[in-house]
């Protein structure tokens, strides 16, 4: 075998190795989120991230929280209230069920945030006690009604405040969730009613592959 033939064989072998490694990386690498697959799970993505208003609310420990600090993780933001008779306990129970079905890598990059639409009754202590029933790691936010309405309207999940003059009043609100990215901008929505099985399958494709 001539020197040229040996050189050609070596080059061919090197190319084969590179192609093999590339192909293996494609097969074994994380699957990318497909918008159609996400939509089947009720996840609707926005064309681009939507910034949150420059507001500060109060968490369940009574500490001020700037909305711009909701970074570092993906956030599922739910607008509800502790005196809610139906949508809220159902949604929070479904989110607890969803988290139990997610892989650890996804759970580590995800947090649940409940923003009260009934700040008159939902004190930080009330929120903390209520959320602990579902998961003590859930974050609760309350504050001035005008600020909460501004946030809800910005995220495209408006609500109609209740009438505090009426006993046992209720608040008309949506079961949809706002989806925030690790950069603190709104990336989309999760539509109600939640499909826990499909969300458990498709949410990791988004959370683990998108920055």
Which residues, at least 6 apart from 38, have a Cβ–Cβ distance to it below 8 Å?
44, 45, 202, 205, 206
Q: For the beta carbon of residue 9, count every other beta carbon within 10 angstroms.
A: 11
Is the separation of the CB atoms in 162 and 170 below 8 Å? yes
Q: Is 84 annotated as a binding residue?
A: yes
For residue 24, cis peptide bond before it (omega within 30 degrees of 0): no
At 123, is the secondary structure helix, strand, or coil? Answer: coil
Is the separation of the CB atoms in 140 and 60 below 8 Å? yes
Helix ranges (H only) for the chain are 3-28, 35-40, 87-101, 104-108, 124-134, 145-154, 196-207
Please name the residue that has the structure tokens 């064989």.
9
Q: For the beta carbon of residue 177, count every other beta carbon within 10 angstroms.
A: 26
Token pair in block for residue 143: 């504050």
Q: Is 88 annotated as a binding residue?
A: yes
Binding site residue list: 84, 88, 173
Binding site residue list for Cu cation: 84, 88, 173
């Amino acid at each position: 075998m001539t020197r040229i033939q040996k050189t050609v064989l070596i080059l061919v072998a090197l190319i084969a190795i590179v192609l093999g490694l590339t192909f293996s990386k494609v097969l074994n690498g994380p699957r990318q989120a497909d918008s159609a697959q996400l939509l089947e799970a009720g996840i609707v993505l926005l064309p681009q991230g939507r910034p949150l208003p420059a507001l500060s609310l109060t968490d369940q420990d009574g500490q001020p929280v700037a909305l711009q600090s909701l970074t570092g993780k993906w956030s599922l933001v739910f607008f509800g209230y502790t005196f809610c008779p139906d949508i809220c306990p159902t949604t929070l129970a479904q989110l607890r069920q969803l988290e139990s079905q997610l892989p650890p890598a996804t759970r580590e990059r995800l947090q649940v945030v409940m923003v009260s639409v009934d700040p008159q009754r939902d004190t930080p202590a009330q929120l903390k006690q209520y959320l602990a029933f579902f998961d003590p790691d859930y974050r609760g936010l309350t504050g001035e009604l005008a600020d909460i309405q501004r946030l809800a309207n910005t995220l495209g999940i408006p609500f109609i405040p209740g009438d505090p003059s009426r006993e046992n009043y209720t608040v008309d609100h949506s079961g949809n969730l706002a989806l925030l990215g690790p950069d603190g901008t709104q990336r989309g929505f999760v539509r109600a009613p939640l499909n826990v099985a499909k969300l458990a399958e498709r949410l990791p494709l988004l959370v683990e592959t998108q920055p």
